[in-house]
Structure 1
């Protein structure tokens, strides 16, 4: 059962302040969210919370991450409707996809392409091989300059992926609010 609670103008202002400090977030994402700053709600679940702007589940936090990340829902929506890449992104090879959808972190050898460079701790989205949609949102464990052939190790911490609880709740919220 979803419970949506409106959040105060001060909390909304704090969220925008936090987003504006994240240099890797495309300003177009923030501008899009500002269109709905008078209609901001929050869904709080046991392990995560999602902030909803209008009818768009846009940001989330988990117990393990103390800052807001854009949801896969909004990064995919902006990418597929407005061609906006909201945060730095990498494309992975086919072999990585099933592991990522099961929550694995993104390994350097699985990355085929860096679409926009980033620094360690930046929010990063992960595109599947055909670059039609994002399958993971997380944060960088290394600078993108360290991603190179022959380099081993983890590149991106997987915070949310397709079909996880954050994704499913985002879809549920979007359907409930757009009907």
Structure 2
């Protein structure tokens, strides 16, 4: 990942981001230093020097570090069995048979945080391809397209 530009965020843009991220707005303390890093892939939002949010298309989504800072994720979570962990660490998409539980309010094209069954630690951020109830019911097929996972360039970003 190549960094092209780094700059502080303007107040108007900050308000737009806060309106968009919902419960993840807790990641941005009142007096935080908020910057944007433009890269050759996705632009990343640094909060006090840590990459906690990123732009995905026109949406602002949490990075795994952001999800870890949140501790308990109440909405948009998907729980996978421990057998899926090694595949997710390599960037695989999430398949329905590996899903143990999911937020019933998830709809198609929502941003989701994938956590492991045992420790409830975030493993990946993805876009849902089906609804939450369908993820649990289905015995086959892809449920989530992975956009960011442990060990990728965003996870390893040092600034």
TM-score, with length taken from structure 2: 0.85
Aligned residue among 127, 135, 151 for 1:139 = 127
Q: Which runs of 5+ in 1 are unaligned?
A: 20-24, 174-179
Match of 2:48 in 1: 54
Match of 2:25 in 1: 30
- How large is the RMSD of aligned CA atoms in angstroms? 2.2
What secondary structure is seen at the aligned counterpart in 2 of 1:151? coil
Give the aligned length. 157
2:1 is equivalent to residue 7 of structure 1? no
Cα distance between partner residues in 2 of 1:138 and 1:168: 18
Confirm or deny: 8 A CA contact 1:87 1:123 kept in the other structure: no
Please state how far the C-alpha of 1:92 moved relative to its aligned partner. 0.9
Match of 1:43 in 2: 37
Cα distance between partner residues in 2 of 1:131 and 1:66: 31
Cα distance between partner residues in 2 of 1:132 and 1:61: 24
The superposition leaves residues 103-160 of structure 1 with CA deviations (integer Å, 9 ceiling, x where unpaired) of 1111111101225631111111111231341010112111111123453211111010
Cα distance between partner residues in 2 of 1:18 and 1:149: 30
Match of 2:19 in 1: 17
- Bigger helix fraction: 1
- Bigger strand fraction: 2
Aligned residue among 112, 115, 135 for 1:124 = 112
TM-aligned CA distance change 1:71 to 1:150, over 3 Å: closer
The superposition leaves residues 28-79 of structure 1 with CA deviations (integer Å, 9 ceiling, x where unpaired) of x214425246x210112211211012233221124xx331110100111221
